[in-house]
Amino acid sequence: MPDPAPLPEQVVLRVCRCGICGSDLHMSADPEAGYRPGVTPGHELAGEVVAVGSAVSRLRVGDRVTAMAVLGCGRCAACAAGDPFGCPVFQADPSACGLWGGFGQYTVVPERHCVVLPEVLSMADGALVEPLACSLHGVRRARLQPGARVLVLGAGSVGLGAVFWARRLGAGRIAVAARSHRGEELAMKLGATAFLAHETDRAAQAHAALGGPPDVVLECVGRPGMINEAMMLARLRGTVVVLGMCTGPDVAIPVIGLMKELELRFAVTYSVAEFEQVVDVLARGAPELRAMHTGTVGLDALPQAFEALRQPNDHCKLMVDPWA
């Protein structure tokens, strides 16, 4: 295939690292939510600018950048406000307006969606920015009160990122519930105060760990049944935020939320300000976040890596080096 050429407002990136997202696993397995033919997956990327379009003014060849995965038109009110997810062009066809190509050696990105990486950050750090921005957005959607009791369902990269941000944004006790102890050590490093690895009597476990029922439940698994479980665990007039991407059919029982008068919110992607905040936090020093990167594979090993990640495994964030 020929190397990509940039349009006037685009840059070409030599991809150096790209994280494997849970949505990549869902979309590669689900025909209904699958990739468009000819699309190269991968959106949690960092790379080096190797070519710039004629209208590019901020970036230069050689700049090290990470890129936002939501590509708005750049001209509407939402884009001007730093909210590309609210862009009508993106909302009309999200799969056509998302960032792709991270599992290839080169990809093209609009300049406005690139953020320069400070020298103190590695390319692997840069590839962590996108998933951490998703977690930040989800926690902000919860509108945490100081000292809030928080229960995080799931100890994958989104859930562990949510633990980190909940701690920084003022939560009190934070419990993580998962199906095994694999993520426990990292969860505790990132700010959790308890880790619950047994699914029996989870409500009693959470109550004991948090000193009461959770004010906020962050659903970070994305399996059928998890929204229902989150509603059952939340306190009266509590808040449930759904970050997990479940692409299959699910059934929730509305009366559970109704009788508790719950706030049920959903969170996906992030704003420009949230994305830039993650870069700033990493650059100022958050070494515990780097422990989320648990391995790197080359393109030849990518199919096997996908299948391994569909099974119980010890990875938090597995990355791809397209040049390995």
Question: Is 144 a member of any domain?
Answer: yes
* Rounded mean pLDDT, 136-145: 98
Q: For residue 3, what pLDDT is reported?
A: 81
pLDDT band of residue 34 (cuts 50, 70, 90) is low
Count the Cβ atoms, other than its own, within 10 Å of residue 33. Answer: 15
* 260 and 309 fall within a common domain: no
- The better pLDDT of the pair 2, 130 is held by 130
Question: Is 276 a member of any domain?
Answer: no
CATH code (residue 194)? 3.40.50.720
Domain count, the chain: 2
Question: Is 240 a member of any domain?
Answer: yes
CATH code (residue 97)? 3.90.180.10
In the chain, the N- to C-terminal Cα span, in Å, equals: 19
* 18 and 53 fall within a common domain: yes
Question: Is 122 a member of any domain?
Answer: no
Domain that holds residue 233: 136-266
Last residue of a domain, one of 232, 250, 266: 266
* 145 and 110 fall within a common domain: no
pLDDT digits (tens, 9 = 90+) for 197-237: 977 789 999 999 999 999 999 999 999 999 999 999 999 99
Cα distances from 187 to residues 142, 162, 220, 293, in angstroms, run 19, 10, 13, 13
pLDDT surpasses 70 at 30: no
Beta-sheet strands, E only, within 56-201: 64-67, 106-110, 114-116, 150-153, 174-177, 194-196
* 196 and 154 fall within a common domain: yes
Residue of 82, 41, 33 whose CA lies nearest to 271: 82
What percent of the chain shows pLDDT beyond 70? 94
Q: For residue 95, what pLDDT is reported?
A: 66
pLDDT surpasses 80 at 83: yes
pLDDT digits (tens, 9 = 90+) for 258-305: 999 999 999 999 999 999 999 999 999 899 999 999 999 999 998 898
Q: Are 156 and 220 in contact (CB under 8 A)?
A: yes
